[in-house]
Every structure is written in structure tokens, then in C-alpha cells.
Amino acid sequence: MEPAVFNKFRDVIFESSGIFLTEHKEALVSARIGKRMRVLNITDYGHYLQQVMSDETGGELRELVNAISTNVTHFFRENQHFDFLSGVLRQWSQNGSRQVRIWCAACASGEEPYTIAMTALESLPGTVQPRLIASDISTKVLQIAKFGVYKDSDVQNISKVLLRRYFQKGVGRAADLYRIKQEVRDLVSFNQINLSTPPYPVKGDLDMIFCRNVMIYFNQELRRRLVEHFERLLKAGGYLFVGLAESLSGAHRNLATVEPSVYQKIN
């Protein structure tokens, strides 16, 4: 790819998603864009860039972001967070909470919000309703998440008990597929939300926010802004979870570290 074209792609991607690509990412960017170009039968990167820029509906820009974003995820990823979540939910329900609202802010193909939902169902008595908002910038992964169907290789981290309780196994030609049950899907509402363009269409007073393994793609300034908004959306005593390889940069005086990559809003 011509350096000028690559730089323009970098700008467009940064402006539309906050995803910050360094010069070293050229091979990755070329490969991911190349895949989309093959679908459209375009062979020249410059021509594809023009197509993105001239599409006033924003549809091709959406496809570009879908192509560029890294959507790796799995059930019970960074499992210590779910042990912690379970402990907090048990405590809250003993203290009389009747509702728990959680935002999963870069939910990819759904494994993370469904893990949160299963953990909540396991930890809370039937009298406490967990409610989840799950969002991502990528429309492609949101479609998968809403459908909630996973291959048997995807569900290997899930215990047999939970698999039986919360998934429906396919039959016949779908025998290697599992669908998360309707009762779990009903707890989660999926929406497209771009974290690079606050404010977010999410009601405040949240009990928890999960924003894991996405801030690594953003620059310092966006991370700082993001966390400021999360801080505002959390209720006092609520928790923010980030990826284990991530940590909050900058001063967030109202957030105290309580576990590796888990922060609690003080007041």
C-alpha cells in the first residue's frame, strides 16, 4: 500500500473509531482491508479508499471499521474478574439490592456479556434481576452476539453444569453448535455504541461497567476521556473492570483500585 494511502486509512479509522494504528500495523491493515476489497472485487487500495470516502451513507466506513477491529474474545476470559463479580453480587444481594445494572462496553461477539449474565444468575437469588447493556462498534460482531450461537470449540471453557443449564445443544447437522438460552439472551440488550464519541446513550447509576481489552487500541487522550465518562455513569460503590493487561492512566481520584484492573467508584 502507498504510504500516503495507508496514512489516510489511519486517519479515517482513527476519526471514526478512535482505533490508533501505528506505522508498524501496515501489514495487518493491508491484509484486513484486502479481505473486504476482495468481496467488492476491488484490487487497488486507493480506489477502495475513494469508495469509503464517497459513500455518504457511511455504510462502507462501517464495513471498514468492521474489517479493522480485532474481535478476539472468549467465555470466562480473565476468569478472576468473574470470581470477583460473583463475590460482589452475593454480597449486594445479602445487603438487600433488588436490581443490578451492568454495561459491557466492547462486547465483541457476546461471550463476555453472556459470561457476566451466567455469573449473575448463578450468584443472585431469583428475586434480584440482573440487566445488561452490551455494546460494540462493530455491527458484524453484534449480529453474532444477538444470535448467540457458538461452536463447541468456543464453549470449552464453560463447565458442563453451566453448559447444560444455559445452552441449548443443536441436533442433526447443528450437533456441534450451542445456543445461549432465551432466558439469558433476554437479560442482555445489544446496541451499537462507539466509545470514541461520548456522551454515550446509556443511563447513569450503573452498578458495573466492563470495558476490557479495547482501550489498548486507543490513545491516552481517548482513554482518559472514556474513563471520565465511565466514572460519571457509575453509582458510588460501583465497579469498573478493564482488561488485565490494561490499567488506568492519568488521575482518576474518584476510582480506587480494589483488585488488579478492577476499580471502585468512591463517591
Residues with catalytic roles:
32, 136
Residue 191, strand partner residues: 135
What are the backbone dihedrals phi and psi of residue 159, each rounded to the nearest 5 degrees, phi first?
A: -65, 155
Among residues 166, 217, 239, 263, the one that binds ligand SAM under rule CB under 6 A: 217
Burial 179-202 (b: 16+ CB within 10 A, else e): bbeeebbebbebeebebbeeebeb
Among residues 213, 230, 264, 265, the one that binds ligand SAM under rule CB under 6 A: 213
214 forms part of the interface with ligand SAM (CB under 6 A) = yes
- 51 by Cβ neighbours in 10 Å (0-12 / 13-18 / 19+) ranks as middle
Q: One-letter amino acid identity for 133?
A: I
All 3 cell numbers of residue 2? 502507498
| Residue 23 contacts residue 17 (beta carbons within 8 Å) | no
Strands (E), the chain: 99-104, 129-136, 149-151, 167-169, 177-180, 188-192, 206-211, 234-242, 255-259, 262-265
Question: Cβ closer to ligand SAM: 43 or 145?
Answer: 145
Stretch in the footprint of ligand SAM (CB under 6 A) among 2-10, 70-78, 92-100, 251-259:
70-78
10 forms part of the interface with ligand SAM (CB under 6 A) = no
19 forms part of the interface with ligand SAM (CB under 6 A) = yes
> Least distance to ligand SAM from the beta carbon of 157, Å?
12
Binding string to ligand SAM for residues 96 to 125, with x set by CB under 6 A, is what?
Answer: ----------x-x---x-------------
| Residue 101 contacts residue 131 (beta carbons within 8 Å) | yes
Among residues 52, 73, 145, 264, the one that binds ligand SAM under rule CB under 6 A: 73
Question: Cβ closer to ligand SAM: 159 or 219?
Answer: 219
> Least distance to ligand SAM from the beta carbon of 18, Å?
5
Question: Cβ closer to ligand SAM: 72 or 161?
Answer: 72
Question: Cβ closer to ligand SAM: 19 or 158?
Answer: 19
Residue 101, strand partner residues: 131
What is the DSSP code (8-state) at residue 170? -
Size of site (CB under 6 A) for ligand SAM: 24
81 forms part of the interface with ligand SAM (CB under 6 A) = no
Among residues 81, 185, 212, 252, the one that binds ligand SAM under rule CB under 6 A: 212
Among residues 137, 158, 188, 262, the one that binds ligand SAM under rule CB under 6 A: 137
Question: Cβ closer to ligand SAM: 68 or 124?
Answer: 68
Q: How far is CA 91 from CA 23, 66, 86, 173, in A?
A: 47, 39, 9, 44
| Residue 262 contacts residue 84 (beta carbons within 8 Å) | yes
> Least distance to ligand SAM from the beta carbon of 2, Å?
25
